[in-house]
A and B are shown apart, each in its own frame.
Chain A
Amino acid sequence: MSDCHDGCNGSRREFLSGTLKLAGGAVVTVIGASALASSSSGPTSAPIPGGGEYDWNEHLWAYLVDTTKCIGCGSCARACKAENAVPDGFFRTWIERYAVGTDDSHVDSPNGGMDGFPPVQVGFVANKSFFVPKICNHCRATPCTQVCPVGASYRTKDGAVLVDADSCIGCGYCVQACPYGSRFIHPATHTASKCTWCYHRITKGLKPACVTVCPTQARQFGDLKKDGDPVRAVVEHDRVQILQGHLLTEPQCYYTHLDKEVR
């Protein structure tokens, strides 16, 4: 016993310090994983599909809708469905039709406007009628990422709000927290799904599918960090509106000529 006294003590000390390191490491791992999952403070550049040279610090994306230009053709919703394999009955983007009279109004969006809009009869005198395209507002202060219990929903440095389907637990809290109805639980993956601004396209220098196909440029996509960007010019110099501003979610989808009836 006495022969190995020092050695035993040493090995015990080593064992203890090893255990402590291990425990510390585990804590760091857990905290690290949590931090990585919960915010965009991870790596400085996003993994680039196709391996291009995309640096998310150089961009700040924004979406702009001019409601007076939308003709309700539904191309955007169809393109989105084709591009992102959006399941039937769920929508990453849709178009709403408004018919507004003095005392009454009518709103509809048959199949999200995907098949265009059949004529509609309303029981009042409609003074004006217009279409409003809707997508995820990619809010800066978004409640959907706030409520995600595992940090699977996050906002990237270039301003897109995304979902990591590999860590989403499918609790649906974000679906409840989004005031715009932009999220849904995907019926096949059972995880949250939403508009990504076609993140796989914009990181390659392309526009989102809905913007690309819009025949009237009612939908525009731009970079608030790029000089001379037309969307940036409108956002900075014109009067722009946002949806449900009273909720203070700071949407990054801006509207011009929005009507009071639109929520």
Chain B
Amino acid sequence: MPEITGFSFPNDIHVTWSLMIVMYPYITGFVAGSFIVTSLYHLFDRQEFKPVARLAMATSFAFLLVASLPLQLHLGQPQRGPFVIITPNFTSAMAGFGILYSFYMLVLVLELWFVWRQEIIDRARRSRGMKRAFYAALALGTYDTSPEAIEIDHKAIKILAGIGLPAACMLHGYVGFIFGAIKANPWWSTPLMPVIFLLSAAVSGIALLILLYQVYAKLDRRPVVSTCVSALASWLWFFLILTITLEELELIVMAYEKSESWLIISELLTTRLSFSYVTMQMIIGGLIPLILLAVVVLMNRYLHEKVRNTLATVAAFLTLIQVFSMRWNIVIGGQLLSKSLRGLRSPYEPEMFGREGVLMAIALFVAPFVILWVFDRVLGIEEPEGSGGHGNPPAAPAEASAASHVP
């Protein structure tokens, strides 16, 4: 039995939303964040993101494939999960999930197809037998790679990226809305919640790509393009500043206006969440990467490539921890607090095994990387060396300093 400090409503001592509900926004955050990165190239023509544009799109896809699993694993009656789509109750914020998820999936799959169309056709032409049939099916029977067709591809990619970006933002902002619209819980109930979720999604997506890019470049024996790392670091810094500012503003407003819940929330943060909030979310995952990224951005031109890569990689890794801590502190923290606003329960410890356990969470986090690996085997994430390229017309490699890319 959990221990209670103060007074909790007797049913409030159970943590109903488990580790899986922490994983859900963490995973959809990568979906939206990676899509923001790929859109910077495909939609906004930021050439410095070209080296990671396809990796980012594949990452978004890989994470999207597992995004609904934590929800499904969490349900008390998982076999009734499809009811949310078949018989939705539209007054519920949750009922929109099926629609948003399917819509974004559709847009992303279409965009993926247009971006990878040439590779699919090349592979179909190169292979024989079953393999050929597989790629031919993927090519949907059209082998047209004439300049006109490629031009149409480019237009389609741009339009789909234009639809996909708001769809990705909706998909994740909506997760924040699910929490932000619960007036019963003062730790959740703020209009800032969807915004904070969205910004931290951008943070987690960019941070993950910094790490993935380093790994992928190593595995694929490609050089790491320093302008790309600088640009990613700049945007990461920008979004991290916004995220942490809003996360803190929310608290400062609550404290300054002495809201009725501030007493218990301040106790929650300084006792039950002192490690996960103060240490992890604010210092190790917040302050330290802010400083590291400031060095990368402000001293960019003085940094040796290896130093820049290392600083950016360490900062990216720490911000991934920051975002996970933020998800944890919101989801779990909100349930340690009783709605009596008089009591806190002892910290929640997730089970190790089982449907909603730690191992399952790790498996869910690892699964997208396995999907990425399979994706790379089947379609190849990056274009083969020396190919003409896709997407936007080739431009001179961006040489401007990363700092100038900060909006």
Contacts and interface: CB of A to CB of B under 8 A. Distances in A.
A107 interface: yes
A179 B335 CA distance: 12
Contact of A170 (B10, B12, B76): B76
Contacts of A90: 10-11, 14
A176 B182 contact: yes
B338 to A, nearest CB: 7
Contacts of A65: none
A185 B11 CA distance: 9
A109 B184 contact: no
Contacts of B76: 168-172, 185, 189-191
B184 A148 contact: no
Contacts of A117: none
Nearest to B338: A181
Nearest to B92: A149
Contacts of B74: 171-172
Contacts of B184: 143, 176-179, 247
A263 B95 CA distance: 30
Contacts of A33: 86-87
A61 interface: no
A143 B89 CA distance: 13
Interface string A95-109: 010000000000111
A112 B95 contact: no
Interface in B172-208: 178, 182-185
Nearest to B83: A150
B1, B9, B14, B185 — most chain A CB neighbours (10 Å): B9
B14 A169 contact: no
A108 B184 CA distance: 21
A37 B89 contact: yes
A235 interface: no
Interface string A156-191: 000000000001111111011111111111000111
A147 interface: yes
A146 interface: yes
A150 B89 contact: yes
A181 B4 CA distance: 15
B19 to A, nearest CB: 13
A164 to B, nearest CB: 11
B89, B93, B341 — most chain A CB neighbours (10 Å): B89
A90 B10 CA distance: 7
Given A173-B94, A177-B182, A184 B14 contact: yes
B17 A190 contact: no
Contacts of A107: 6-7, 340, 342
A30 interface: yes
B345 to A, nearest CB: 12
A34 interface: yes
Contact of A181 (B9, B86, B182): B9
Interface string A113-157: 000000000000000000000100000000101111111000000
A30 B87 contact: yes
A254 interface: no
A220 interface: no
Nearest to A36: B87
Given A38-B87, A38-B91, 17 more contacts: A37-B87, A143-B184, A147-B92, A149-B89, A150-B87, A150-B88, A168-B80, A169-B81, A169-B83, A170-B75, A177-B184, A178-B339, A179-B183, A181-B8, A185-B14, A189-B76, A191-B76
Interface of A: 30, 33-34, 37-38, 89-91, 94, 96, 107-109, 111-112, 134, 143, 145-151, 167-173, 175-185, 189-191, 247, 263
Interface of B: 1, 6-12, 14, 16-17, 71, 74-78, 80-81, 83-84, 86-95, 97, 178, 182-185, 334-335, 338-342
14 contacts: A30-B86, A96-B7, A147-B92, A149-B84, A168-B76, A169-B76, A169-B81, A170-B77, A171-B76, A172-B16, A175-B11, A178-B184, A180-B9, A190-B77
Closest 7 CB pairs of A and B: A170-B76, A190-B76, A181-B9, A151-B89, A179-B184, A149-B94, A38-B89
